[in-house]
Amino acid sequence: MVRLLTKAPSADSEFYKMVVFAQAYSIKLTTLLHMWFFLTCYTTCGYHTIDERRFPDFSYISKTGDFTEMLDCVIISHFHLDHCGALPFFTEMCGYDGNIYMTHPTKAICPILLEDYRKISVDRKGERNFFTSQNIKDCMKKVIAVNLHQTIHVDDELEICAYYAGHVLGAAMFYIRVGEESLVYTGDYNMTPDRHLGSAWIDKVRPDVLITESTYATTIRDSKRSRERDFLKKVHDCVADGGNVIIPVFALGRAQELCILIETYWERMDLKVPIYFSAGLTEKANHFYRLFINWTNEKIKSTFVHRNMFDFKHIKSWDRSYIDNPGPMVVFATPGMLHSGTSLELFKKWAPNPKNMVIMPGYCVAGTVGSKVLAGEKKIQIDAFTSVEVNLQVKNLSFSAHADAKGIMQLIRQCEAKNVVLVHGEKSSMGFLKSRIMSEFGIPCFDPANGTTVSIETSHVIPIEMSASLLKQHLIRQTESTDPVNEGMTSASSPEESSDDSSESFKPKTPSTVRPKDKVLIQGVLVMDDGKPIRLEDADEALEKIGMAKHKVRFEVRKAYNATALRLAVEEADHYQSLDTQGASNDGDVKMDQPPAEDFYKDWDADAFALDLVYVALQRAIGGHIAISRENEGGAIVVRSVKIRAPTDKDDFEKGGILVGWDYQDEDLATRILSIVTLALTTSR
């Protein structure tokens, strides 16, 4: 428990909420006292075409329906209906009135798709209790458009920032930060650039939690180029054979890439087979792409002035009457999962003929016609009255711009996530990816089922402000006290601790390894004042702040030692030394040497000798870390306020020892020094 935080006793539970309501996922972050993230993650169906649960179950967020109170903001990652389909319902019919954020292109394109969705649902399927056109307009008015990388302060604590996701035009990943805790919600993203979009990119934001989609959790797709060749060959073969090709797509996004692809191929091969695009949206969509060219990739951006990639020569818009036209054709038809509209109509018509072909470019929600086609069913029940024989060729082309397993791993590496939560994928493949992430990165990974709660403990850090002068003071000290070789914190006696911490522990003394210090040892006093930021100050400053008078205590201690023993030891040492040297010369030399030595011992000053010994010992033990100086007169050793000297007549002490004096503030240093002194004077060898 972080006690520091209890300084404001009333704040026993700081409670931040935030729902990322994008797609089917609502992520509720609750930061509690201990600053853990409680992450509720449920995968209800944002937009489910066949389920009667059209909209997500918002009661997960609030039982009372007071969503505005409960949520800080709603973020829409991109314009696909499974990510924003329920937005007007939520704002206009459930009464959410808070901030809604999305990127500019999403804000532009979203209402068109919503309107389209509304039309299909209400006009064709006769749904009731659906939002109206006016609802969509009102809802979009509340939307706040954001730019990439722009940091938006939702309130005092919550800030969000969008990053390019590449999935469709305007798709974004969101970095969300509350205090020092952060989260990245990816929405859908794509890590490989395609023909009109760049790849997703994020700063090294080091989020505590990364919530990533995992649609293609296990797929590592083969190279882009070969997939494209594959796609084009299949289409070409089919039309050459006189068959019709139906490509179910979303009106925006993937469709544009496929169009660019087919357009260039047709141009190169000089094909005349007509290509149609079913949605009336095309023209408008292309106009959007032109205005938001900044959101496409670099290549399109750099050439747009001269040639707009979205002016297609070969692709014409679809008319229902063409359905009976003879001869081969290629039709891009919406929607992408064959659940309604033109694509279903065409599919019903063309399915029985084995010459025809359907190319399923994306992922299909379970239960849709598309998913049944993908599953290889030969007879598909479309509704209560209709069923279709499926004879046409079915090609599953994984063209959808989701990140594959490799891409997901790449993103985790890029943002250096501390925890990963996988959503939007199939259980089994998520499990596979999960274990891979855990083993490769060594970070916790979760794949919560719908409606379950995940608790993730984050390491909590506390932001404080440190006095710059304090930092400077420590830095200067640590640079001064060290040798050219940069090892301020290295204790000479601790080579064995090198495993502890690379920069703090022992480093080999090769001059070539000099590098800037990235760690500085700091000590100071935390000053906590209500309502002000916590500050780390110099002790003196801090004490001044709380208005306390300092009291100085000085110790003057006599350090007794056995001078005789010391002298004997030295003499003995000298003796052995002379014996050693003697070995190299003859006996006569020894006698020549002896007399001056005797003289020396006569007025031998024990204290001065002891000081010398102590000085050497101190230099050896702590000299690398702290400045040790000697006074010229009397040879006193000074280390900060610690002074080691021989007693003088002024002192009241009895003779027979050296004096050690220090201020109480250097008590710890003095203790250390005293122990070194003791050691030096007792075992003088």
Partner 1 sequence: MTVLPQEATDIRQDWASFLKASTAFTHTKKKQRTSGVSGEPVAATLTSSTGATSTDDRGASTSATRQSATHDYLFKLPDFSGVDLKSIDVVLISNYNHILALPYLTEYTDFQGRIFATEPTIEFGRQLMTEFVSFFGTSVSSSPHDAIDRKQLLAKAGTGLYPAYTLADVKACIDKVQAVRFREHVALYGSLKLTAHSAGYCLGSSNWLVQIGTENIAYVSSSSMQVNLHPDHFDGSLLEHASTVIVADLCPKGSITYDSGVNDVCSNIAATIARKGHVLIPCTISGFLFDLMEDIHLHLSRMGLNHQVQYSFVSPVAETALQYSNILAEWMAPRKQEMVYLPEAPLLHGILLEKGPAKNYKSVHGEFSSDLKHPCIVFGGHPSLRSGPMVNLLHMWGNKAKNSIIFIEPRYDVPASLGPYEGLEITQNACPLDIRLSVDQLVEVMKKYRHSKQVLVPARATNSIHTDGSAELADAKLTTSSSSIRWTAFKYGKAVQLGMGSLYESVLLSEELAKGIYPQSFGTTSIAPVAGSLSIYNNQMQLEPASVAGRQFLALYTQRQLCGVMNLQNLLLGLSQIGVENPVVTEHRQQSKDSDDKIETPEVKIEFEIEGQAAAFIVRDQETVVKCDENLRPLLRETILKCFQSLLSKVGASLHPWFNLVTLKCLEIPFSGQI
Which sequence positions are flagged as catalytic? 213
DSSP string over 144-172: EEE-BT-EEESSSSEEEEEEE--SSTT-E
Q: Shortest gap between Cβ of 131 and partner 1 (angstroms)?
A: 19
Residues 228-287 that bind partner 1 (CB under 8 A): 284, 287
Q: Shortest gap between Cβ of 547 and partner 1 (angstroms)?
A: 8
Candidate list 1, 10, 376, 580; residue touching partner 1; CB under 8 A: 1
Residue 513 interacts with partner 1 (CB under 8 A)? Answer: no
> Of 27 and 527, which CB lies nearer to partner 1 in the complex structure?
527
Residue 76 interacts with partner 1 (CB under 8 A)? Answer: no
Candidate list 591, 602, 650, 685; residue touching partner 1; CB under 8 A: 650
Residues 289-318 that bind partner 1 (CB under 8 A): 290-294, 304-305
Residue 432 interacts with partner 1 (CB under 8 A)? Answer: no
User: Do 200 and 166 form a contact (C-beta atoms < 8 A)?
Assistant: yes
Q: Is 155 helix (H, G, I), strand (E, B) or coil?
A: coil
Distance separating alpha carbons of residues 521 and 539, to the nearest angstrom: 15
Q: Identify which range of 273-281, 314-322, 420-428, 651-659 contacts partner 1 by CB under 8 A.
A: 651-659
Residue 148 interacts with partner 1 (CB under 8 A)? Answer: yes
> Of 391 and 498, which CB lies nearer to partner 1 in the complex structure?
498
Pairing of strands 37-43, 445-446: unpaired
Cα dihedral across residues 373, 377, 382, 383: positive or negative:
negative
Residue 507 interacts with partner 1 (CB under 8 A)? Answer: no
What single-letter DSSP state applies at residue 645? E
Among candidate residues 288, 346, 260, 243, the one with its CA nearest the CA of residue 106: 288
> Of 267 and 465, which CB lies nearer to partner 1 in the complex structure?
465
Residue 509 interacts with partner 1 (CB under 8 A)? Answer: no
Residues 449-478 that bind partner 1 (CB under 8 A): 459-469, 471-472, 474-477
Among candidate residues 626, 631, 627, the one with its CA nearest the CA of residue 644: 631
Cα dihedral across residues 303, 308, 310, 314: positive or negative:
negative
> Of 366 and 528, which CB lies nearer to partner 1 in the complex structure?
528
Q: Identify which range of 53-61, 148-156, 183-191, 228-236 contacts partner 1 by CB under 8 A.
A: 148-156
Distance separating alpha carbons of residues 156 and 178, to the nearest angstrom: 9
Residues 545-574 that bind partner 1 (CB under 8 A): 545-546, 548-560
Q: Shortest gap between Cβ of 417 and partner 1 (angstroms)?
A: 14
Residue 627 interacts with partner 1 (CB under 8 A)? Answer: no
Residues 479-498 that bind partner 1 (CB under 8 A): 479, 488-491, 493-494, 497
Q: Which positions ≥6 away from 585 have C-beta within 8 Å? A: none
- What are residue 15's phi and psi, to 5 degrees? -130, 100
Residue 101 interacts with partner 1 (CB under 8 A)? Answer: no
Among candidate residues 74, 122, 123, 80, the one with its CA nearest the CA of residue 98: 74
Supply angle C-alpha 238, 240, 241, rounded to 5.
65
Q: Shortest gap between Cβ of 475 and partner 1 (angstroms)?
A: 4
Residues 345-404 that bind partner 1 (CB under 8 A): none
For tokens 């070539």, what's the residue?
Answer: 512
Query: Total number of residues binding partner 1 (CB under 8 A)?
Result: 115
- What are residue 219's phi and psi, to 5 degrees? -75, 125
Candidate list 185, 288, 312, 446; residue touching partner 1; CB under 8 A: 288
Residue 33 interacts with partner 1 (CB under 8 A)? Answer: no
> Of 52 and 298, which CB lies nearer to partner 1 in the complex structure?
298
Among candidate residues 71, 37, 411, 23, the one with its CA nearest the CA of residue 187: 23
Candidate list 506, 618, 637, 644; residue touching partner 1; CB under 8 A: 506
Residue 156 interacts with partner 1 (CB under 8 A)? Answer: no
Q: 421 - beta bridge partners?
A: 211, 446
What single-letter DSSP state applies at residue 234? H
Candidate list 119, 206, 509, 620; residue touching partner 1; CB under 8 A: 206
Q: Is 643 helix (H, G, I), strand (E, B) or coil?
A: strand
Candidate list 53, 63, 128, 204; residue touching partner 1; CB under 8 A: 204
What single-letter DSSP state applies at residue 319? -
Among candidate residues 29, 119, 121, the one with its CA nearest the CA of residue 75: 29
Q: Shortest gap between Cβ of 285 and partner 1 (angstroms)?
A: 9
Q: Identify which range of 222-230, 237-245, 342-350, 619-627 contacts partner 1 by CB under 8 A.
A: 619-627
Residue 134 interacts with partner 1 (CB under 8 A)? Answer: no
Distance separating alpha carbons of residues 456 and 182, to the nearest angstrom: 12
